[in-house]
Amino acid sequence: MATLEDDLIELLKGNWVMNKELTGDTDPILKLQKVPWLLRRALAAVTIHLKISGFLAPSPLEEKPLPDIEFIQTATGGLVGTTEKRTLNWEIQAHADYIFGSVQHQSHFIRGTTDARGYIRPEFEMQTGIDSAEIKQFLRGEIMLDGSESPGFLLDNPNSKGDGKDRMDIWIHTFERNLQSGWTAEQIWGFESIGATRYFCRRVVVASVEGRYKGARLVYGFRH
């Protein structure tokens, strides 16, 4: 029998393209991540494609196989692509590429709770080391970066009742830390409706060791 986790991975599978018009300004984030200026300019000029696949991988420490997601990111204009694999069990994993350097990342599924306005939002323990309510509100989909209210993530089971594990809605929470400069990136992945169209969205907040942070909503449209 398929689980909620299986259903979410099935929805993510396929080919996506970043919608530059709907995606927030990513240059401040990349700058905080120490990405060189020339590479930032190149990323701003190309179209980003994302191929997502999901599968169950055997684990020597677990009785059941663990859900894995693989991202293959390519770009127009001859820019070299990257590949990233995430196991959704909140264990620390290592990754390195020419854009972000060496990082350690963690990923897992999360459920929702009801906020003060009665909306169901993703619930998670924030890892970003900055005491800011606005960061979590943005990541949960309560607000946009300018502070305006946001309808937030779509609910695949809007009529289900309860909070936490009883909710029939699910998202992905990720956190990563750069091993050289120490910046962190925290994200919530789900689907949002923009102009009556469903998009895969990644709300991300990047923070530096000095306590500065920048955020953006990355918006991807489904291709096939």
Closest listed residue to residue 12, CA positions, set 134, 212, 168, 171: 171
CATH number listed for the domain at residues 4-222: 2.40.128.20
What is the predicted pLDDT for the residue at 115? 84
- End-to-end, the C-alpha distance of the chain in Å comes to 25
Torsions phi, psi for 126 (to 5 deg) = -65, 135
Q: Distance (Å, rounded) from C-alpha 18 to C-alpha 54?
A: 19
**Residues making up the chain, counted from first to last:** 224
- The SS3 of residue 149 is strand
Closest listed residue to residue 73, CA positions, set 50, 96, 95: 50
CA atoms within 13 A on the CB side of 127: 19
What is the predicted pLDDT for the residue at 44? 94
Element (H, E) at 175: strand 171-178
Q: Distance (Å, rounded) from C-alpha 218 to C-alpha 26?
A: 8
What is the predicted pLDDT for the residue at 118? 84
- The SS3 of residue 125 is coil
Q: Distance (Å, rounded) from C-alpha 55 to C-alpha 68?
A: 5
What is the predicted pLDDT for the residue at 62? 58
Q: Distance (Å, rounded) from C-alpha 176 to C-alpha 93?
A: 9
CA 7, 8, 13: angle at the middle one, nearest 5?
100
Q: Where are the domains of the chain?
A: 4-222
Asked if 206 and 139 touch (Cβ cutoff 8 Å), the reply is no
Taking only the tens of pLDDT, the chain with its 224 residues reads 456 777 888 889 999 999 999 999 999 999 999 999 999 999 999 999 999 998 776 655 556 777 889 999 999 988 999 999 999 999 999 999 999 999 999 999 999 988 888 889 999 999 999 989 999 999 999 999 999 999 999 987 655 555 545 555 789 999 999 999 999 999 999 999 999 999 999 999 999 999 999 999 999 999 97
Note the pTM of the prediction, 2 decimals: 0.91
What is the predicted pLDDT for the residue at 67? 84
Cβ-in-10-Å burial (0-12, 13-18, 19+) of 152 comes to buried
